[in-house]
Amino acid sequence: MITKCLFPAAGYGTRFLPATKATPKEMLPVLTKPLIQYGVEEALEAGINTMAVVTGRGKRAIEDHFDISYELEHQIKGTSKEPLLDEIRSLISQCTFSYTRQLQMKGLGHAILTGETLIGNEPFAVILADDLCENNGNDSVLKQMTEVYEKYQCSIVAIEEVPMDQTNKYGVIAGKLVDNTDDTYRVTNMVEKPDPKDAPTNMAIIGRYILTPDIFDILRNTEPGKGGEIQITDALLEQAKQGKVIAYKFKGRRFDCGSVEGFVEATNYFYEKTFQ
């Protein structure tokens, strides 16, 4: 059983400056909900109610969002506005949140290692909130992945095929199909953000992982890789060499809300879905 979900949320969000100068990128809203709330809802839907967030300087709005706001609640109590807080109130009441700060930005692998103190020695999920996933009322991507984990009991990465000229934006995997369906691969190689000419395939990792806790020891010994940062992709390659990583081609749709185009696409999609 996976009971904890880690949210690396310390990054600067430079692609959204100046919006992210004083506001965490995870708090940018798609319609009326911040990105990280979509992530927490997805985790909860997968049966996970312990949220562990790796934050950094300037990220306190995340903690405040998942807390009671007495003054605001007092102000709108009994008015027509009160129901607007129902959803977040209900969410908070079903989860616990714990936080730790990443002091230096040394990459996603380092952020995940920073979360070890909140996770301990058990398998856990990771959600990168700027990848917003949705599956039209069917099982969420993380829920699908927990089922894959139950079957294989090793680390799981979610993948999707991307145009070959975009491999340099993602961790890219190569693998062998493990059953008759075309959605589960035993990973044989993985490379962080390869140039298209060096990419083993066009199967890109998106921001959903289930990791076994031996990843922490591996991360401690992982040298900085692409961009001089400690990469989760490099650490996972060590597990993959022992046949212990499964890539899962998820059902549903992912919006890259770390980019302006993806963010606008997500906004339009959820607007149509909610109001049309």
In which residue are the tokens 């140039």 written?
A: 195
As a three-state string, the secondary structure of 55-78 is: ECCCCHHHHHHCCCCHHHHHHHCC
In whole angstroms, how close is the CB of 223 to ligand G1P at the nearest point?
Answer: 15
Nearer to ligand G1P, 88 or 126 (CB): 126
Residue 85, amino acid: L
Task: Tell me how crowded residue 54 is: count the other CB atoms within 10 A of its CB.
Answer: 26
Yes or no: say if 217 and 113 are a contact pair by the CB < 8 Å rule: no
Coil, strand or helix: which one is 87?
Answer: helix
In whole angstroms, how close is the CB of 159 to ligand G1P at the nearest point?
Answer: 9
In whole angstroms, how close is the CB of 112 to ligand G1P at the nearest point?
Answer: 10
Nearer to ligand G1P, 88 or 157 (CB): 157
In whole angstroms, how close is the CB of 204 to ligand G1P at the nearest point?
Answer: 6
Nearer to ligand G1P, 88 or 114 (CB): 114
In whole angstroms, how close is the CB of 129 to ligand G1P at the nearest point?
Answer: 10
Nearer to ligand G1P, 88 or 248 (CB): 248
CA distance 103 to 114: 9
Residue in 100, 109, 101 with CA at minimum distance from that of residue 205:
109
Contacts (Cβ under 8 Å, ≥6 apart) of 193 = 167, 168, 169, 170, 171, 172, 226, 227
In whole angstroms, how close is the CB of 8 to ligand G1P at the nearest point?
Answer: 8
Task: Tell me how crowded residue 252 is: count the other CB atoms within 10 A of its CB.
Answer: 15
What the block records as the tokens of 198 is 């060096």
Question: Which residues bind to ligand G1P, rule: CB under 6 A?
Answer: 108, 128, 131, 170-171, 192, 204-207, 231, 233, 258
Nearer to ligand G1P, 2 or 206 (CB): 206
In whole angstroms, how close is the CB of 16 to ligand G1P at the nearest point?
Answer: 13
CA distance 113 to 217: 9
Nearer to ligand G1P, 112 or 148 (CB): 112
What Rg do the C-alpha atoms of the chain give, in angstroms?
18
Nearer to ligand G1P, 12 or 269 (CB): 12
CA distance 224 to 238: 14
Residue of closest CB approach to ligand G1P: 171
Nearer to ligand G1P, 206 or 240 (CB): 206
What the block records as the tokens of 179 is 């059953």
State the angle between helix axes of 35-45 and 141-152 in degrees (0 to 180), rounded to the nearest 10: 40
In whole angstroms, how close is the CB of 107 to ligand G1P at the nearest point?
Answer: 8
